[in-house]
Amino acid sequence: MRITSVTLYPFDIPLKAPIAISLGTIEHARNLLIEIRTDDGLVGWGEGSPFWMIVGETQASGLAAAQDMARLLLHRDPLDIEGCLAALVRYLPGHPTTRSAFDMALYDLAAKAANMPLYRFLGGAKRKLVTDETIYLNTPERMVEDAVRIQAQGAEAIKVKLGTNRRNDIRRVEAIRQAIGDETPIRTDANQGWDVVTAQAVLRTIGDWNVQYCEQPIGRGNIVGLRQIRQQSPVPIMADESLFDATDALRLVREEAVDYFNIKLSKSGGIFEALKINAIAEAAGIPCMIGCMSESRLALTANAHFASARQNVRFVDLDGCFEHAADPVLGGIVYDGYTITLPDTPGIGADIDPLFLKTLSPTVIA
């Protein structure tokens, strides 16, 4: 099997409303879509969601890099996933989100060639996955409204964005807890918004309020600070922006800096690197979460396959499409409330609606 063409698409999906985190606000999901075709007629799909404030990529920079990446893959064997990805890294280090879209398309092709759903191709089985839903930064009153709605819809956990200042963030969590009661766990995410002192103060205050963990309380490079917070925090600490690849995972383990890892395919460079991160975490006794940026159900389905295939993935945060005003995907995962059901068709099991595809502007590399 050989790759005969790669088609690149700017994959814009409108949002219901702007979403805000401590690092900034986004008003559209400006993603990347990759289509890889082979000489035996198989097609693989991949998607990346470049959050510039986290990964340092934009849709424009990703599409520019993807043209060179696509040329590198022409006429190669797509089943040589490691070789294909190594070629991309050698030529253009970095660009994890763009690389993740190619990685996803290659795994889609490989699982289709094996006539297996992706979770089985990865050596796993189908298991129950339940996602949380995220409340983005807003006034405490508006965030309470969202929390009450999400709880009423049957959520098993609610994720709350924080990372502004000590007083306001404590008010947000306190107001939500008072509104929804004590039973539904809250998962917090500061997106690097605090310093060490603020993080310690907030986490001490909310520590008895059934908070499952806090993601990335401080800047991504401050591993010593993460360890310091973890040693004193009543709330478990999860690495997100501090964890891009296996090298980061090893450092976090060595420094005993966190309790949990948040793996995101758009951040790690795709499934190939995510498997290494999870293996390191599992060996160190660190459970993982599978997270997302603002992907469509195409990439969310690939993320769910990965989570299903790896028992060490303890938490699921695959709610990115909940904020989308359009769903351009056929097939893929199905949400029954917050429970996720995976497809059993070969590969990822998701395709792009041909009508939506016609609205995009393709660049064909052949």
Instruction: Confirm if 98 and 66 have CB atoms less than 8 A apart.
Output: yes
Query: Catalytic residue among 264, 267, 276, 358, which?
Result: 264
Going by C-alpha positions, the residue among 39, 27, 34 that lies closest to residue 3 is 39
Q: At what angle do helices 271-284 and 81-91 cross, to 10 degrees?
A: 100
What six digits make up the tokens of 275? 């498997």
Element (H or E) spanning 145, and its range? Answer: helix 140-152
**Is 264 assigned a catalytic role?**
yes
**Is 128 assigned a catalytic role?**
no
Going by C-alpha positions, the residue among 1, 275, 315 that lies closest to residue 121 is 275
77 labelled ligand-binding? no
Question: Can you give the three-state secondary structure of 151-172, one letter per residue?
Answer: HHCCCCCEEEECCCCHHHHHHH
Amino acid at 65: A
What six digits make up the tokens of 12? 């814009």
189 labelled ligand-binding? yes
Query: Catalytic residue among 112, 159, 161, 267, which?
Result: 161
Looking at residue 62, the DSSP 8-state letter turns out to be H
Annotated binding site for Mg(2+): 189, 215, 240
Residues making up the binding site: 189, 215, 240
Q: Tell me which residues are annotated as active site.
A: 161, 264
